Structure 1
Amino acid sequence: MAAALARGEAGEVADILAAVTPGGGKSLLPVIAAARLVAAGLVARVVWVVPRDSLRLQAEEAFADPVWRAALGHSLAVRAAENRPDPARGLDGYVTTYQAVAAAPDLHLAEIRRVPTLLVLDEVHHLPVLAEGDPGAEEAGWSRALLPLLRHARLRLLLSGTLERADGRRILWLPYAAAGPGARPLPDLDAPGWAVIGYSRSDALAERAVLPVSFGALDGEASWLEGGRASEQARVGPHRLSARGATTRPALFTALRTGFARDLLREAFFATRRLRTARREARGLPTGEAASGLGKLLVVAPDQASAQRYHAMLRGWMPPGQAERDIRLAISDEPGAHAALAAFRLRPEPAVLVTVAMAYEGLDAPEVAVVAALTHIRSRPWLEQMIARATRVDPHAGDYADQHALVFHPDDPLFARFRARVEAEQATAPGRRPPRPVGAANGPVREGPDDGIVPLESNAIGLRYLMLRPRPAAPAPEAEPTPAAPAAVAAPAEPPSRAEDRLRARVAALVTAQAAEDAADLRVPRRGGLPHRYNAVLKRVSGRSRAEMSAAELEAALDWLERNRLHDHLHLLEGDARYV
């Protein structure tokens, strides 16, 4: 499309939408587009906006990559800019973040208006359409700041690995086809002035652009305390993670913070160690010699406190010198988080990175071969981004046929549903099951005292593997249609008021759990009324109290609580004497 624009064959097109499966190489598209469009004189500058600071540095590296400079014959250079005057500094453009644009919108708008610009918005699904009475959430602020830039750019390139948002809202700037009441809004791929580039997972697998995925699903049991005041709390469980129903979320929440998490982490750790040993032996490398292509482990934690615990566990399973060299922690509370991310991406060592959402999206680290998915986020876009960290082809790891991604995860119904959707999209069926490796679950491991110092408990009870490989979808054989189940067998619908009560209780439990964790970790001063303050924070964030929320709003509050910590938003109560 960039070539067609450069030749003057698509003069009506001003917007290009690239819907590329995560891991499919969409970060190269801005380089290709800029190289063609700047050479043709259609634009004089590229401004690339990304959702996270670590991606800002990766975008800068994409333009500097000598291989692609030679392949495309370009000499463009962009810089990772701060919010200071003249962000391009004489180069062909700059890379910034959504947060930076929201903090200094006038600066970036002036740059867009000054010269004809190709505006690139990476992971555009982060930007929701602005609605009347929109709460002052961070992403809505990004949309307000970016909208004037979109209007004044000469050409726009919008990139995303998914064309849907977890909250169901429409994405900023995209055209949408008319949808009936209750129908999911879909982008209008035939809108005038738009060119759409699609690259699905099945396309990428067929062209060997991404790796097939092997899922290691670990089931377990969890028990927890539930109730109002501490004196009235009752023990619940044990409940299976794989069981469907109201226990799914609390069981998963518990499992990721207790013994189950340690068991899953051990499986992933020892699978990575076996992979690295096998690749060393195949290449004749001595133990301890640094080399690219041996495979790395990415551990995704549910929150920063859990990430710190996982990091300590991993260090306890290795000799001190090796742990210092091989394991890094990248969370916002940890000094040098961005340096740790950069080292993990660009150097043979470290081989293990423990992080939270800051490394989910767009992390370009082809050596990642194993992911420990210790997160309770279950939205499809987030999970796709996570598994894509391991599906990138590693040019240093040997033949494509000898590589595959391995993702260890809790075997809960929500993840199973996501896995089924991945299988359906790639037109796959369960292939041969790889032989079960000798892992932590069936081999003795020496370790120190149990680190799960919480009153709740969980344990792993079974691991199974499923390899997803592409194959053409076979036509369904002719058969008589399966009759629908009798109405009497169907489960009765839950009354709305009961659903709201159940969701409201879950929100209260998560708020109380965060307050207890933060007080125990000394993240906030020990004082009375912390749950009361945390409830007030949630009300400020969501715009209304739990008593006023609908079922959909309570679900959204649950999803938000599972991705965020309330103590990070206590500043919303400043100046209110009720919460001093």
Structure 2
Amino acid sequence: MPRKKTRTFRDPRDSQRNPDRPLCADVTLRRRPLTRPAPSLRSHQRTLMALVAAVAAGEAAHIQDILAAVTPGGGKSLLPVIAAHRLIAAGLVERVVWVVPRDSLRLQAEEAFADPLWRAAFGHTLSVRAADNERDPARGLSGYITTYQAIAAAPALHLAEARAHRTLLVIDEVHHLPAPARPGADEASTEDAEAGAWSRAMLPVMEASTFRLYLSGTLERADGRRILGLPYRPAAPGRGPELDLDAPGLAVIGYSRAQALAERAVLPVTFGAIDGEASWLEGGRIAGDSPRVGPHRLGAGSVRVTTRPALFTALRTGFARDLLSEAFFATKRLRARRRAERCLPPGETARGLGKLLVVAPDQSSARAYLETLRSWMPADQGARDVRLATSGQGDAHAALAAFRLTPEPAVLVTVAMAYEGLDAPEVAVVAALTHIRSRPWLEQMLARATRVDPHAGPYDGQQALVFHPDDPLFARFRQELETEQGSSVRPRRERPASAVVPERTRWRDDEPAGITPLESNAIGLRYALLRPRLAEPSPVAPPPEPPSVTERTLRQRLAAGVAAQAVEDEASLRVPRGGNLAHRYNAVLKRVLGKGRATMTLPELEAALGWLERNRLSDHLDCLDGDARYAWSARQRRGRWPTERAAGR
């Protein structure tokens, strides 16, 4: 292991530091169009395809539950498409219902079914839509996507849908659903209570479904509880819950990080471990009698005596700024290099240049990080290139979508909203300014940067870079990742930090109480590369237009068409003036077509738009006769209007 060296961190405002300068300005490069490679299946996807083919052929008719344990970033979003395509074609199920833990993931699930290359590769025509808790959530398509929260809010609606149709239920990130607690046991926190409500609402829907596909990148919960719907062996003394992989009716598909690296499904990771020192006040008061503690090293303290308060302090003081600076300028150098390789002129946007994801410990810190990052840029560029996505922001989902689908913004600051399931292959650098140290959480965060970017060139030229505090717990996680250990749910035996100060309390991911952060600084940076065994590259699909976006576009076009006819008819004196003509025309369209556009399916919306382009709504105003809400319009049309028109008024 290389020795740590003390280094001086430059001020980001230093004008002499200019990583945007072309690295090879004297070399003329020919710009080549970025093309997407032909799709190919990975080993776990091929396994699932063979399994559902056997189920469809009756060779594995006893299988009703499929558990896919896929390393984060390994490509599990294609598995529901494979299963639904084969099972629906065989007539074993009628629709697919995909349940995700976050609302921001519904659009990504739609994109998986709408991807044109995979539609061509599989020859499927299935489409699903992101649904709210409204009647007929599938709207004539092959299924719908919803969230755990939505099912908990309207369990009767989704249970009725599962009972009315033979359903393939896809439960994404199933580790969010804890098995029901023992009778009389209280939920430990508000988050646990919410997860328990999800489980109680999901269980009847799971039981009513014909097939169940469980997806997870981390088959364990931080609280040690069992996961809903999965079989477990009888508990042994001194051991945690262990999955029963041989349970009847269950098929298990595994895809480890080692396999993903061998197949080039994920990128290798370089860890930038930054050590530092921190000082704080005990007791949470700034009075003179509060003892000052420190400075203490992040990487040399007792795991629970000094590391936890030191990390809490570091993430809110100068250390955080130093780590942000390293991540920011590493991203800037990467974008400058890729821009020079493509000979892109200054100011021209392009996909595949690389992006930065900043994971903050809380929302107030996230807002502080946002202001710090924007202060290192011109004002207009900072507002455009750096966005915030937290649960307290009204435009959080728009910021997430823009970060995923467009060249700008290039930097996203979040807390936990974007760490799990975020499909943004352009993320190349992560600033891990988080206090959470559970392995499943860190693996999910790490996976945001390990996805292969189809716009960034060859696989060998891509790499994930993660900057993090060099504390003992993160170092332990990195060591486990290197050796592929830590996958067992058996709890590890803890050792005391020293014989003098034994550790009697477990590490918690919540904030330590009773301290006031004073100051911190970074004192060293070292890199460690996890280098994989390489094979052939595999594709990553660009985001297509999902059905819900198409529905919204068609509704907007219908509304614009109705408004245009209303304006034209009033201007040409085809109908009497007075009242809201567009409102009346909307009522006419609803009467002619038999339903409102808010409840129309995609084919019905397309048919409505075609009808509107061929017909005039003014010729069908008689549809409103007898409706008291439009009686004045009918009288005007039958009475005074012909006289006024004859007079040329």
TM-score by length of 2: 0.67
Contact 2:425 2:452 in 1 (8 A): yes
1:30 matches 2:30: no
The aligned counterpart of 1:466 is 528
Secondary structure, in 3 states, of the residue corresponding to 2:77? helix
Q: Report the counterpart of residue 151 of structure 2 in structure 1.
A: 101
| Counterpart amino acid of residue 13 in structure 1 | I
How far off is 1:135 after superposition?
3.0
Q: Which residue of the other structure, out of 31, 50, 55, is the alignment partner of 2:100?
A: 50
Answering whether residue 244 of structure 2 is matched by residue 192 of structure 1, we say: no
2:181 is matched with 131
Pairwise CA distance, 1:189: 1.3
Inter-partner Cα distance in structure 1 for 2:161 and 2:206? 12
Q: Report whether the alignment pairs 1:112 with 2:162.
A: yes
- Tell me: CA distance 1:15–1:287, structure 2 relative to 1, closer, same or farther (3 Å): same
Q: Which residue of 2 aligns with 1:172?
A: 228
Higher RCO (C-alpha under 8 Å, 6+ residues apart):
2
Which residue of the partner structure matches residue 418 of structure 1? Answer: 477
Contact 1:79 1:93 (C-alpha < 8 Å) held by counterparts: yes
- State whether residues 201 and 426 of structure 1, in contact with CA within 8 Å, keep that contact through their aligned partners in structure 2: no
User: In 2, Cα distance between the equivalents of 1:36 and 1:288?
Assistant: 47
**Does structure 2 retain, via aligned residues, the 8 Å contact 1:202–1:426?**
no
Instruction: Tell me, yes or no, if the aligned pair for 1:307 and 1:356 is still in contact at 8 Å.
Output: yes
CA distance in 1, matches of 2:157, 2:290: 54
Question: Residues 317 and 517 of structure 2 are in contact (CA less than 8 Å); yes or no, is this contact kept in structure 1?
Answer: no
Identify the residue that residue 351 of structure 1 maps to in structure 2. Answer: 410
1:271 alignment partner, SS class: helix
| Larger Cα-atom Rg | 2
**Could you say what secondary structure the match of 1:27 adopts?**
coil
Q: 365, 373, 386: which one pairs with 2:432?
A: 373
1:233 deviation in Å?
A: 2.5
Q: Distance in 1 between matches of 2:531 and 2:214?
A: 29
CA deviations on 1:428-453 (whole Å, 9 max, x unpaired) are xxxxxxxxxxxxxxxxxxxxxxxxxx
Which digits, 9 at most, give the CA deviation of each residue in 1:48-89, with x for residues without a partner?
A: 100000011111111111111111111111111111111111
Instruction: Give the letter aligned to residue 344 of structure 2.
Output: L
Partner of 2:218, secondary structure, is: coil
Aligned to 1:234: 291
Letter in structure 2 aligned against 1:198 = G
How many angstroms apart in 2 are the aligned matches of 1:375 and 1:72?
41
Structure 1 residue 334: Cα displacement: 1.6
Q: Supply the distance in 1 between the matched residues of 2:394 and 2:329 (Cα, whole angstroms).
A: 28
Q: Does the 8 A contact of 1:361 with 1:386 survive in 2? A: yes
Provide the C-alpha distance between the structure 2 equivalents of 1:277 and 1:3, rounded to a whole number of angstroms: 48
Indicate the residue corresponding to 2:330 in structure 1. 271
Q: Is the partner of 1:247 in helix, strand or coil?
A: helix
Change in 2 beyond 3 A, CA 1:202/1:72:
same
Matched, 1:86 2:143: no
Aligned residues: 446
8 Å Cα contact 1:426/1:470 also seen in 2: no
In the alignment, the residues of structure 2 paired with residue 471 and residue 395 of structure 1 have an alpha-carbon distance, to the nearest angstrom, of 20
SS in 2 for 1:395: coil
Candidates 316, 336, 340, aligned match of 1:257 = 316
Distance 2:387 2:335 in 1: 17
Shift of 1:97: 0.6
Q: 1:18·1:159 contact (CA, 8 Å) conserved in 2?
A: yes
**Pairwise CA distance, 1:184:** 2.1
Large movers: runs of 4+ above 4 Å:
none
After TM superposition, give the deviation of residue 320 of structure 1 in Å.
Answer: 1.4
Q: 1:230 to 1:457 in 2, by over 3 A?
A: closer
Residue 207 of structure 2 aligns to which amino acid in structure 1? R
Correspondence 1:322 to 2:381: yes
Q: Tell whether the 8 Å contact from 2:168 to 2:213 is kept in structure 1 after alignment.
A: yes
Contact 1:311–1:329 (Cα < 8 Å) also in 2:
yes
Counterpart amino acid of residue 99 in structure 1: Q
Q: 1:163 and 1:4 mapped to 2: Cα distance?
A: 26
Matched, 1:64 2:121: no
Superposed CA deviations along residues 173-207 of structure 1, whole A, max 9, x for unmatched, are 11112342111222111111000010000000000
2:449 is matched with 390
Q: Return the alpha-carbon distance in structure 1 between the equivalents of residues 395 and 462 of structure 2.
A: 31
CA distance in structure 2 between the aligned counterparts of 1:456 and 1:84, rounded to whole angstroms:
51
Partner of 2:124: 74
Query: 2:36 maps to which residue?
Result: none
- In structure 2, C-alpha distance between the alignment counterparts of 1:229 and 1:255, rounded to whole Å: 18
| Farther-moved stretch of structure 1 (88-97 vs 152-161) | 88-97
- Matched with 2:606 is none
Give the conservation status (yes or no) of the 8 Å contact 2:313–2:517.
no
RMSD: 1.5
Q: TM-score, normalised by structure 1?
A: 0.75
SS in 1 for 2:78: helix
1:455 positional shift: 5.9
Change (3 A) 1:237 1:347: same
Give how far 1:469 is off. 1.2
CA–CA distance in 1 between the matches of 2:202 and 2:294? 48
Shift in Å, 1:6: 1.7
For residues 172 and 153 of structure 2, what CA distance do their matches in structure 1 show?
18
Q: Look up the match of 1:286.
A: 345
Give deviations 1:520-558, integer Å, cap 9, x for gaps: xxxxxxxxxxxxxxxxxxxxxxxxxxxxxxxxxxxxxxx
1:188-236 residue CA offsets vs partner (Å, 9 max, x unmatched): 1111100001000000000000001000000001111112665443211
Offset at residue 102 of structure 1 (A): 0.8
Distance 1:469 1:134 in 2: 46
In the alignment, the residues of structure 2 paired with residue 35 and residue 311 of structure 1 have an alpha-carbon distance, to the nearest angstrom, of 43
